[in-house]
Structure formats: C-alpha cells, structure tokens
Amino acid sequence: MQHKLILHALLLAGVLLAAPVWAQEEVTSGQYRYKDRESSTGYYEDYEVRPGRGSPFLQWDKVQEEGIGYSRIYADKYRPGNTRFRADAHAGVYDYRYKRCADCHKDKAMINRHVTKEDIACRQCHGGEPMAGVEYYYSPMNPIRRHAYVCSKCHQGASASYARYLVHEPPPFAAATLSVFPKLYYSSWAMLFLVLGTLAFFLTHTGVWVIRDLFTKKDTKGVDDED
C-alpha cells in the first residue's frame, strides 16, 4: 500500500514537475543559442558587418544617403541604435576632425537661442570629444543628470523640470512643430490669430473713423450762449 502511494506520488510529481523541463525549450531556438555564445550586445552598426544582399522591400541606398556618415540616424529615436544613445555620436563621420558643428547641424543651431542670442558654443553644453549622444547613459546631457551637469553651470539651482525647457526650440508656426510640441504650436497660432484679428479690425475701424471725422463740424457755441 505504502509503495503504491509513493509510486503514484512520484508519477504525479513527474507529470506536474515537468514544467521546468519544458521551459528549457526556449534555448533550443537558434537565436537564443547564438546570443548565449555572443559576448557583445548583439546590436551592430552597419559598418561593423559585411553587407548582405539587403531586403527586397527596403531601399537601403536611399536611407544611407541622408544619414550623417555611417550613423543609423533613422533607427527609432528612442531605441538604442540611434546615435542619441552612442558613447561617440560622431564615430565614423567622414573627415569629422575638420568639421565644425554647424557644418552638419546648422538647423539645430538656428533654432537655439543660446547660440543666436547668447553666443554660446555647442561644446559648452554638449562637451568635448568624444561627444556622446544625449541619451547615452554616462553622458552629462542625459536627462537624468542634464540639469545638474549642464544647465546648472549657468542657471544655478536648475531642476530636472527646468532642463525640460526646449533649448533647440522648434519654430512655433512651422507645421512640423505640431508633432513635436503641439502645445506650443496651437497656443502660438491662437495668439497670432488674436493679434492679427484685433489689429486688422481696429486699424480698419480707426482708419475709416479718421476719414469720416474730416466731414464733421464742432458746435462752436459757448456754454453761456446755450443758456
């Protein structure tokens, strides 16, 4: 009887405790086994791997043309792989040492009041070489420490909230701003309509009034004459 109980218990345990064994199945996939043997992160820049035959669905050449150097500028902005996450954001840029920031980033400089009004150089905030991407974990520009390492150099007491001021401010009336900063876009347009509407109405009103006034005559009788 006791033996039967032990046998059933073992059979039951064999059935129920088999789950961990099934779970090990995942390492049988080629991808996971490859990653187990791989010492790197598994993410490669295009210049690190031999060119493949490419995908028939993607026009690689066109994407490459518009990017800066070899950077994967079109990788998702918020995912590793984008230059914003790299320790050296300019690695692989052709003739980098002979370039000035504005040679490639003129658009960014033009919408930055620190540059246009205060004459602050890019490197005063973005740091020296190698210039890390702003999202790179150890970068002083990383939002978790930007306020303390960058903003506070001039704006004493700057908080993380303060560092959320858009230094590279998108032009408020540009259509592209609608997707990156809709609140600025809508409020600026609303205010512009208010300004133009009010001025257009009152300028016309005053203009017509001034002309109409030319045809009016004052009553020149004094107060004593009236009485």
Binding site for other proteins (CB under 8 A): 110, 113, 116-117, 155-159, 161-166, 169, 171-172, 181, 183-184, 187-188, 191-192, 194-195, 198-199, 202-203, 205-210, 212-214, 216-220, 222-223
Handedness of CA 149, 166, 104, 79 (dihedral sign): positive
- Output the smallest distance, CB 110 to other proteins, in A: 6
Query: What's the CA gap between 88 and 68, in Å, rounded?
Result: 13
Residue 169, phi-psi category: left (phi > 0), alpha (psi -120 to 50), beta (remainder): beta
> Number of helices and strands (H, E) in the chain?
11, 0
Residues whose CB falls within 8 Å of the CB of residue 104, separated by 6 or more in sequence, listed in order: 68, 93
Whether the Cβ atoms of residue 69 and residue 92 lie closer than 8 Å to each other = yes
- Output the smallest distance, CB 77 to other proteins, in A: 17
Handedness of CA 164, 169, 170, 173 (dihedral sign): positive
- Residue 80 or 105 having the CB closest to other proteins: 105
- Output the smallest distance, CB 173 to other proteins, in A: 9
- Residue 130 or 143 having the CB closest to other proteins: 143
- Output the smallest distance, CB 101 to other proteins, in A: 16
- Residue 93 or 109 having the CB closest to other proteins: 109
Measured from the Cβ of residue 91, the count of other Cβ atoms closer than 10 Å reads 16
With 0-12 / 13-18 / 19 or more C-beta atoms within 10 angstroms meaning exposed / middle / buried, residue 27 is: exposed
- Output the smallest distance, CB 143 to other proteins, in A: 11
- Residue 43 or 209 having the CB closest to other proteins: 209
Long-range contacts: 93-96, Cβ < 8 Å, 24+? 93/68, 93/69, 94/69, 96/69
- Output the smallest distance, CB 224 to other proteins, in A: 9
- Residue 37 or 212 having the CB closest to other proteins: 212
- Residue 6 or 190 having the CB closest to other proteins: 190
